[in-house]
Amino acid sequence: MAGTAGTPGTPRVLRAMNDRAALDLLLEHGPLSRTRIGKLTGLSKPTASQLLARLEAAGLVRVTGTSEGRPGPSAQLYAVNPAAAYAAGLDVTPDRLRAAVADLTGQTVGEFELPTPGRRPTQPVVQQVTAALDGAVKAAGLTRDDVHRLVIGTPGAFDPSTGRLRYAAHLPGWHSPALLDELAAALPMPLEYENDVNLVAVAEQRIGAARGHDDFVLLWNQEGLGAALVLGGRLHRGWTGGAGEVGFLPVPGAPLVRQVTRANSGGYQELAGAQVLPRLARELGIDDIPEGPYTEVAAELLARVADSGADPQRRLLTTYATGVATGLASLVSVLDPELVVLSGGALASGGERLLALVQAELADLAASRPRLVLGDVTEHPVLRGALESALATTRDEVFDTSR
């Protein structure tokens, strides 16, 4: 295989490139024989055999069996050694911390949830994080030292110039300027921090509806309304990490509120946030409105109306779709993405009927007409994105055989 531009094609570099290509194939396809690896990489049988022997000696691959009906060494099946490294993710909300550990293949091997109710945390944040991580590590039968990297997902974003968490006043205990240093001192592995909606986009890009797409917008509607922007294959975070904080985006049909972060109202969230659905339902004469947290109420309402042909339910779905499309029109006009992914409980509950209505409204409101899809990663998408992010860096480091 040829070297990359500007990289000397030394035997060591070429070996490392071939090693990485084989490891990526094993991650994508699962167990493969050395003959199949040779064909997929274009390597000769002797070179493929040397490559696999080298990776097996390094503990990166292992023999998992043989091809059916084919005896002999050439029929052995090789797979990435899942125990070669582990990575962890943490999903933080005001109500709980959810942690998970994954092996090098991406398989989740341990999970733990730590409730954190109330506006005044009973434990310091560092203790909460370590307790949640230790719970997941214990569930996996590992120790902290086995974890190669941890990615923490939170609402808002840590300002790179100050280290303070911004755009997340509802997350108690997480706003100390010393927090990142305290967490780094308490944990023995490298830490990364990422916005929760950005991590949902990472999950969709790697294993979900946006796989293979380099330019897309993900609109998230769960506890809050937010967006993630992927441009040229990379997350666009903005100067202070606030790119995608679209809840306060001024839009037609919503009050113009100044100092929106203090007022915590106004803008796009007043048209498309999950909290508006019960009000819209009452205004349209829908009486049977469930009780509970507004995100759950919104999801149930949309699930009901998506399956109903009654006039009030149909108007609720249409009105909400118009609100969603109104804010999307601004994003699409500026970014011109290839794809828009609708994700989060409220949007997912509307299903294909809501998706089709939003697509039709957006076609009327914006010159650019990206394809709209529902998110595929529906089980703990923030946590899955944190694991995928941690695993990507971990694999780059562990799979680098040129060192």
Would residue 224 count as lying in a domain?
yes
Does one domain contain both 33 and 178?
A: no
* CATH code of the domain covering residue 41: 1.10.10.10
Is residue 5 assigned to a domain? no
> SS3 for 4?
coil
Residues 168 and 237 in one domain: no
Range of the structural domain that residue 103 is part of: 85-200+383-398
Structure tokens at 314: 């149909």
How many Å apart are CA 48 and CA 37, to the nearest integer? 7
Instruction: Note down pLDDT in tens along the chain; length 403 residues.
Output: 444 444 556 788 888 999 999 999 999 999 999 999 999 999 998 999 999 999 999 999 999 987 655 655 567 899 999 999 999 999 999 999 999 999 999 999 999 999 987 766 678 999 999 999 999 999 999 999 999 999 999 998 888 888 888 888 888 889 898 999 999 999 989 999 999 999 999 999 999 999 999 999 999 998 889 999 999 999 999 988 889 989 889 999 888 878 776 766 778 999 999 889 988 988 988 888 888 887 888 888 888 887 777 788 889 999 999 999 999 999 999 999 999 999 998 899 899 999 999 999 999 999 999 999 999 999 999 999 999 999 999 999 999 987 7
Distances in Å between the alpha carbon of 118 and those of 113, 123, 173?
16, 11, 11
> Both 90 and 76 in a single domain?
no
In a domain, 206, yes or no: no
Question: E strands along 155-296, which residues?
Answer: 157-158, 165-166, 191-195, 216-221, 225-231, 234-235
Within this chain, do residues 90 and 37 fall inside the same structural domain, yes or no?
no
Give domain status of residue 315, yes or no. Answer: yes
Task: Let me know if residue 205 belongs to a domain.
Answer: no
CA distance 376 to 343: 8
Q: Give the DSSP letter of residue 2.
A: P
Asked which of 63, 80, 97 is the last residue of a domain, the reply is 80
Distance CA 239, CA 379 (A): 31
Indicate which CATH number applies to the domain containing 286. Answer: 3.30.420.40
> Do 222 and 142 belong to one domain?
no
Q: Which residues contact 355 (CB under 8 A, 6 or more apart)?
A: 342, 372, 373, 374
Task: Let me know if residue 157 belongs to a domain.
Answer: yes
**Does one domain contain both 76 and 91?**
no
Burial class, 124, CB count within 10 angstroms (exposed 0-12 / middle 13-18 / buried 19+) = middle
Do 389 and 337 reside in the same domain of the chain? no
C-beta separation of 330 from 317 below 8 A: no
338 and 217 together in one domain = yes
- Claim to verify: residue 60 and residue 154 sit in the same structural domain: no
Check: CB of residue 20 under 8 Å from CB of residue 367.
Answer: no
Q: Is residue 3 part of a domain?
A: no
Both 249 and 338 in one domain: the answer is yes
**Rounded to whole angstroms, how far apart are CA atoms 195 and 166?**
10
Alpha helices in 140-214 (DSSP H): 179-186, 196-207
Inside any domain, residue 2? no
CA 134 distance to own-chain centroid: 22
Write down which residue in 51, 80, 109 finishes a domain.
Answer: 80
One-letter amino acid at 301 equals: L
**Structural domains of the chain, count:** 3
CA distance 343 to 3: 39
Whether 228 and 335 map to the same domain: the answer is: yes
- Is residue 95 domain-shared with residue 48, that is, in the same domain? no
Distance, CA of 66 to CA of 76 (rounded, Å) = 4
31, 47, 80 - which closes a domain: 80
